[in-house]
């Protein structure tokens, strides 16, 4: 039987190969390292996972699509962006993962997101594979007409690669209900099919699911609550710092408030707001969702309880809980050290890989409960899969039913991660538990389906 150290040596060699085969893709390298460095125990215990090149296949996308997206701005000038779709693994079901429109998007970023999505989707227990896509297009400051023309051009290429039984995109950063509507309209126009299950995050009047906008934020808070319960505590009366002010952050704050916690921060690229009375959700939604403004406007209109801090780090604010809900690698080692000094009890990732590896290790060493994104923020894709189920049946569920299903899924994910970590001698290590549990489900399906 192969020893754990021998297995880890093999995995380390594979990580070196990944870096050589995928140059200039640091985010993908980081995501691969984060998963593979935890798999030695399970591969040593189950050598069948090592024999058919399974892990080598797992880290190589099944398909990578990159394409040109030409569109006209309101002045008639032709602009050109790049579009991406990485269909990473379909062993458990059709590829499932969001589309991100942001200037930082490149192939490495999409591959990291798609790789993470494999394990996140597996943890939900639902029949969905992993994929991700997007463009370096920036919708911020663009008119509705410009966003529509871009989305129509983007879908004119993407449509040939997706379908409800093949690949089902959703929204992500920069892609909300407006963009999903334009994308779906162009798909319907090109294909002459009302295939509602081809995209999720749709409007509630035409195939969307109740609770889908809230699902990622709600699910993250439910996971954080489960981690606290495991330690004999609950959310009531806890102070929370939240980064971001988009969809995930807003509904993270909403659920924290509903469960009795006090969320005192939000942020965007200009800086962050501290509101000692707790974030006023109605005001934040008005500024960010209606006016598409910046968080400094929140502080100006909120009154004496709120102050805006330009630049800086939201993690400097003392709190019991931290919920990074903006973007990757936003919480570094220095920020983690500050959180620990200030007595943080739990960190739960609402965004994808928002905590650097060094910060994760520091938090775990300090005994902080740490919920990795592939587990903690799986609520969004879980409700996306529930939206697919509703579309397939040509029906819609009540908000209460969807929220109940979401709560059951997040509780199950927490239990799976916790029990798997204990089974592999890493009690309380949700990173190891999430990685191994997701890997086992995907690996078993890949073994059953042969070398493909």
Query: How many angstroms from the chain centroid is the CA of residue 284?
Result: 22
pLDDT in tens, 209-222: 999 999 999 999 99
How does pLDDT run across 3-32, given as a tens digit for each residue? 778 888 899 999 999 999 999 999 999 999
In 3D, which of 139, 131, 92 has the Cα closest to residue 110? 131
- Verify that 113 and 67 share a domain, yes or no: yes
For residue 316, the 8-state DSSP code is: G
Residue 1 confidence (pLDDT):
57
CA distances from 381 to 31, 114, 122, 227, 427 (A): 19, 13, 10, 20, 27
The answer to whether residues 176 and 183 touch, using CB atoms and an 8 Å cutoff, is: no
Asked whether residue 292 is assigned to any structural domain, the reply reads yes
Distance, CA of 315 to CA of 322 (rounded, Å): 8
Strand order through the sheet with 369-371:
262-263, 239-242, 321-323, 346-348, 369-371
Q: Are residues 346 and 246 in the same domain?
A: yes
What is the value of pTM for the model shown? 0.95
pLDDT tops 70 at residue 99: yes
Indicate the DSSP class of residue 263.
Answer: E
User: pLDDT digit string (tens) for 330-355?
Assistant: 999 999 999 999 999 999 999 999 99
Output Rg (C-alpha) for the chain, integer angstroms: 21
Q: Please check whether residues 320 and 345 belong to one and the same domain.
A: yes
Single residue among 317, 337, 367 that ends a domain in this structure? 367
Instruction: Supply the pLDDT for residue 5.
Output: 83
Residues 56 and 73 in one domain: no
Residues annotated as catalytic are 132
Range of the domain at 269: 215-367
Instruction: Give the three-state DSSP class for 100.
Output: strand
Q: Are residues 186 and 75 in the same domain?
A: yes
Q: Does residue 91 contact residue 7 with C-beta atoms inside 8 Å?
A: no
Q: Are residues 70 and 56 in the same domain?
A: no
In a domain, 233, yes or no: yes
Could you say which DSSP state residue 170 is in?
A: E
Give the CATH number, domain containing residue 280.
3.40.50.720
Run of H or E including 375: helix 373-376
The helix-helix angle for 107-123 and 379-393 (nearest 10°) equals 70
Task: Tell me the pairing of strands 321-323 and 239-242.
Answer: parallel
SS3 content of the chain, % helix, strand, coil (to 5): 50, 15, 35
How many domains are contained in the chain? 3
Q: 137-192 pLDDT, tens per residue?
A: 999 899 999 999 999 999 999 999 999 999 999 999 999 999 999 999 999 999 99
Given 322, 345, 367, which residue is the final one in a domain? 367
Same domain, 311 and 445: no
Distances (CA, A) of 22 to 66, 116, 134, 143: 15, 16, 19, 36
Residues 241 and 293 grouped into a single domain: yes
């Amino acid at each position: 039987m192969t020893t754990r150290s021998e297995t880890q040596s093999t995995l380390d060699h594979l990580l070196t190969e990944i870096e050589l085969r995928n140059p200039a893709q640091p985010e993908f390298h980081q995501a691969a390292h984060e998963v593979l460095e935890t798999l030695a125990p399970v591969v040593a215990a189950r050598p069948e996972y090592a024999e058919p090149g399974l892990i080598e296949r797992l880290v190589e996308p099944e398909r990578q699509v990159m394409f040109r997206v030409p569109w006209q701005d309101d002045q008639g000038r032709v602009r050109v962006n790049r579009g991406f779709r990485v269909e990473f693994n379909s062993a458990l079901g059709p590829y499932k993962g969001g589309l991100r429109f942001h200037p930082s998007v490149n192939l490495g970023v999409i591959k990291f997101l798609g790789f993470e999505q494999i394990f996140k989707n597996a943890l939900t227990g639902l029949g969905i594979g992993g994929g991700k896509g997007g463009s370096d297009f920036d919708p911020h400051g663009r008119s509705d007409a410009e966003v529509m023309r871009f989305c129509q051009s983007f879908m004119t290429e993407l449509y040939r690669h997706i379908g409800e039984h093949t690949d089902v995109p959703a929204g992500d950063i920069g892609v909300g209900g407006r963009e999903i509507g334009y994308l779906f309209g162009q798909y319907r126009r090109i294909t002459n099919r009302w295939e509602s299950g081809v995209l999720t995050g749709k409007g509630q009047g035409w195939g969307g699911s109740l609770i889908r906008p809230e699902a990622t934020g709600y699910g993250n808070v439910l996971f954080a609550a489960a981690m606290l319960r495991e330690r004999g505590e609950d959310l009531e009366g806890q102070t929370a710092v939240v980064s971001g002010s988009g969809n995930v952050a807003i509904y993270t704050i909403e659920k924290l408030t509903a469960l009795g916690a006090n969320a005192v921060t939000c942020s965007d690229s200009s800086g962050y707001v501290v509101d000692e009375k707790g974030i006023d959700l109605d005001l934040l939604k008005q500024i960010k969702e209606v006016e598409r403004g910046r968080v400094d406007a929140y502080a100006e209109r909120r009154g004496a309880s709120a102050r805006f801090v330009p630049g800086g780090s939201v993690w400097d604010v003392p709190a019991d809980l931290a919920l990074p809900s903006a973007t990757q690698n936003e919480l570094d080692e220095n920020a983690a050290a500050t959180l620990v000094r200030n007595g943080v009890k739990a960190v739960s990732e609402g965004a994808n890989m928002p905590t650097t590896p060094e910060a994760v290790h520091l938090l775990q060493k300090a005994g902080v409960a740490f919920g990795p994104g592939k587990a903690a923020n799986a609520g969004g894709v879980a409700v996306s899969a529930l939206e697919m189920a509703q579309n397939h049946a040509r029906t819609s569920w009540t908000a209460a039913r969807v929220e109940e299903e979401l709560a059951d899924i997040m509780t199950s994910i927490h239990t799976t991660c916790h029990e798997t970590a204990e089974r592999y001698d890493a009690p309380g290590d949700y990173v190891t538990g999430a990685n191994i549990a997701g890997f086992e489900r995907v690996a078993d399906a890949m073994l059953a389906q042969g070398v493909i």
